[in-house]
Structure 1
Amino acid sequence: MKNWWEGRTGREKVMVGAAGTLFAIAVIWQLVLQPAMMTLDQSKLNHERAAQTLARLDRIGSLIEQGEAISPHVTSAGSQDIAAAQSASLRMATEAGLAAVSAPISATSEFGVQFSDVSSPALFTWIEQVETALGVHVTSAKLQPNANGHLDASLKFRLDGVS
């Protein structure tokens, strides 16, 4: 090997050295840096979910300490109108720490909610909670990424069983 290396010209030695350096950088990137960055991103998402869950549990704990009963917002889809569902969904968004506003809808059997600069995990967690608690389902959603890496969203909901 030593004879082979000594038989190389100066230019070949530089090129082999550059290729070896690039290979080492690629290996370090693939085996160390990229997995570490992916783990960090996943940890940030997990932390955000945990913080939201803790906030909900703290809120529930304070309600229990005040003697309030904890129950779903709505027990059946037929027991609620669109205005009440929209109001409850906005309240749930506020409780989850999300800034939501009513969105104008032309149909009388639907309601809309708009968000700006919301993280996708928080938004989808909220949607799941609204669908479960209020007996509604999403009929349309417009999601657009913004410059902050979050979403601007406009959602339309309809009560389950309402046509």
Structure 2
Amino acid sequence: MIGNCQSLTYTGRVPPPRRRRPATSEEAAALSSDLRLRMIRMTFDRPLTNKELARRLGKDPATTLHHVRKLVAAGFLEAMPPRAGNRGAKEIPYRSTKLSWELDNSENAVAVGEAMLHAFLGEVADIGLGDVDQSRLVVTVDPEELKQRLEALMEELAAQPVKPDVPRVAIYLAVYPGD
């Protein structure tokens, strides 16, 4: 179910799909990890240090640092200015560049799709199923038209500026044959 989308008006016209550039092999490899996808999402609107990421993901800092370095090298995370941490240690926060939303991953659909599914399942496991609003529906519709309409909605939502007083929500969407 898509919640309050009162600002949207469906006119019957589906905008042309946005042109995204194909992911490079390095970018596709970076996106084929559920842990890295979760790190990109976690740093969407607030920079986090490697230690903060490790704590939130329940991983050791060495593991997350390996993934952070891959994401930085592929352009998905950017280092922010260092800051002083506990006991004066230098900490480097990282923020998402939002590059993942600009890419066409169709050539790597299986690997990236599997990582997306596992990232979703990990996030649901962390928050608990009680906090997930789910819907399931089988419809008769042209799959391409549905994909374009959903993509237009996602593009509109992604383009909205971050508002500190509005809660963040994550969306996982899957469209598959209903047979």
Is the pair's TM-score, using the shorter chain for normalization, greater than 0.5?
no
More strand by share: 1
More helix by share: 1
Rg comparison, structure with higher value? 1
> Which fold has the larger relative contact order, with Cα–Cα distance below 8 Å and residues 6 or more apart in sequence?
2
TM-score scaled to structure 1, two decimals?
0.25
